[in-house]
Structure 1
Amino acid sequence: MTTFRDRFEQLGYAWPDIVPASLPFLPATRIDKTVYVSGQIPETGEHIAFTGKVGDAVSIEDAQKAAEICAANILFWLSRELDGDMDRVVQVARITVYINAVAGFSDFSNVGNGASEFLLNVLGDKGKHTRAAIGMAGLPLNVPVEADAIIHVR
């Protein structure tokens, strides 16, 4: 039987190793049967994989990869919130993908597809979700993409 972690690694991603920052908010919190995951940036270990604006220093392809990393980090925090029991996931309800782009850029949906396709590939039907892909004038640490999520669990 293939687990979500197997599918995750088959996609070529190492399981994230993220240390919670000392910030005045939680990376994820569960309220009843809903997990809210805070905005995730394309960080891998102690490094930021991509910086800059999409349409300038960052190509659409790299922005899609950044969105995939953000989605992987969402799953990392979700797994931690569920004590590793991802069988408790009922459905990813919604993700929002924020894109740090140059003025005039309009291919936000294409960038957001990086996160959406990753979740579908790893979680299958449980990864189907609603989504918004929104252009921003800037993001923390000058990353090109940030994503957050709302996930229903049992």
Structure 2
Amino acid sequence: MLQTPEQRISSLNLALPKISKRAGNLLGFKVDRGLAYISGQLPLEDGVVKYTGRVGDAVSQKTAYEAAKLAALNVISQLSVATEGKLSRVLELVKVSGFVACTPEFTNIPAVVNGASDLFVEVFGERGAHARFAIGVAALPRDVPVEVEVIARLQE
């Protein structure tokens, strides 16, 4: 029998982080015509920044990969709220956008964002496969190394 996304999260020994307060006049997600637009999520653990610094400087590629996984877990928390706690309503992840704060010399940006992509496929199976971009930037909010945003198609 296929596992639900919630069962997969549990089998990975993960728990969905608590959603932190909004940082201004924006929403954590917006649902429009069956698509959930998840705002950029940071590597927060129950609202507290877990990773800081730039990749290629204070942050290793391996640590940044873990930060991307945590940011993705926050995306899944937002999706859980958007689906009223029924992650099985996520039909597919359409697009993932990954931003990596890094030094100009660090160019293995896609390998960092793979942390998010890998977790999405582990949790959602084939529904987690997605189109994606991964870009390097000079800085991200709260000095985090990774930010991830998602567009997902939901069952109505």
TM-score (norm 1): 0.96
Contact persistence 2:96–2:150 (CA under 8 A): yes
**Alignment partner, residue 127 of structure 1:** 128
1:19 offset after TM fit, Å?
2.5
Q: 3-state SS of the aligned residue for 1:95?
A: strand
Ranges of 4+ aligned residues in structure 1 off by more than 3 Å:
none
Contact persistence 2:16–2:76 (CA under 8 A): no
Contact persistence 1:92–1:126 (CA under 8 A): yes
For the residues of structure 2 that align with 1:77 and 1:46, how far apart are their CA atoms?
13
**Alignment partner, residue 44 of structure 2:** 43
For the residues of structure 2 that align with 1:129 and 1:46, how far apart are their CA atoms?
26
Q: 3-state SS of the aligned residue for 2:24?
A: coil
AA in 2 matched with 1:103: P
Gaps of 5+ in 2: none
1:32 offset after TM fit, Å?
1.1
Gaps of 5+ in 1: none
TM-score (norm 2): 0.95
1:22 offset after TM fit, Å?
4.5
| Aligned residue pairs, count | 154
- State, as a whole percentage, how many aligned pairs show the same letter: 34
For the residues of structure 1 that align with 2:66 and 2:43, how far apart are their CA atoms?
9
Q: 3-state SS of the aligned residue for 2:103?
A: coil
Distance 1:67 1:126, change over 3 A: same
Q: What pairs with 1:54-73 in structure 2 (closer than 5 Å)?
A: 54-73=55-74
